[in-house]
Structure formats: C-alpha cells, structure tokens
Amino acid sequence: MIPKITTFLMFNGEAEEAINFYTSIFQDSEILTMVKYGEEGPGEPGTVQHSIFKMNGQIFMAIDQNNGVDIEMNPAMSLYVTCESSIEMENLYSKLKSGGAILMPKTELPPTFREFAWVQDKFGVNFQLALPENHN
C-alpha cells in the first residue's frame, strides 16, 4: 500500500543501481515494482521508468529522468535515519559515505544524540544518521 505522501527520488540513469544499493544496506527492504523503458522510449532503454521500493519498512519511489539534462540532488532535502545501535550507525555511515561525501562527520550532539552524521552518497542523496542517547 502506497502512503498518501511518499518520498520520490529522480536519478540520472542510476536509479536501479541506487535502489539495489539501498535495499541491500537497510533492513526490511525490497524492490516492490520496477518498470524499465524499452526500445520505444521515451527514456533510454533499460533505465527505470518507475519503481516502488521499501527501505527499512518505508515506501519510496524512484525514476531515471529522461529530459536529457542531469538534475543534481542537494542537501536541502535529506533522508533522516534514526539508528538503533552503534553497529547500525557505523555500518550505514561507512557504506553511505563510500564514493560520496561527508557533509558532517560523526560527532556527539549532547544531550540528544550519542552520534550524529550527515553524508551524501555516491548518487547524491543526502542522509542524516542519528543515534539517540537512549539507544545502544
């Protein structure tokens, strides 16, 4: 079931790679649907026309844009992830920053967060990772 409001990500030919990456690093994740452009277009054959996927139990949608002009992601929109443990925090931080950028290195932000970081992954999607004080 699709929520009334769903985060929708537009990629520049990397949607399938990004979706596969996200569903591999977050628990309770899977690709629900993925429709690709065929030879008839209008997008590049094999790119994602529309996909619905679940990441840590939450529904997302994604496409590959087909207007011929790359559209960049920016930090004005980020996905906020509340981590349950130091292990989860380190795992996500390590994988998401690989090939991307650290916008804010892991740090303590007392009294609310034991650890907090902001990273941009290799696809340009921004993630705020937070480990609250009351989690292991």
Domains of the chain with bracketed CATH:
7-64 (3.30.720.100), 78-132 (3.10.180.10)
99-116 average pLDDT score: 93
CA dist list (Å): 55 to 2, 46, 78, 81: 13, 23, 14, 11
**Average model confidence (pLDDT) for the chain?**
94
Task: Give me the pLDDT at residue 73, please.
Answer: 92
pLDDT tier at 136 (50, 70, 90 boundaries)? Answer: low
Q: In this predicted structure, what is the pLDDT of residue 111?
A: 84
φ/ψ of 123, rounded to 5, equals -95, -5
Q: Distance between CA atoms of 44 and 36, rounded to whole angstroms?
A: 9
State mean pLDDT over 11-16: 97
List pLDDT tens digits, range 50-85: 999 999 999 999 999 988 889 999 989 999 999 999
What is the Cα gyration radius of the chain? 16
pLDDT in tens, 29-53: 999 999 999 999 899 999 999 999 9
Residues 74, 79, 84, 90: what is their CA dihedral angle, to the nearest 10 degrees?
A: -20
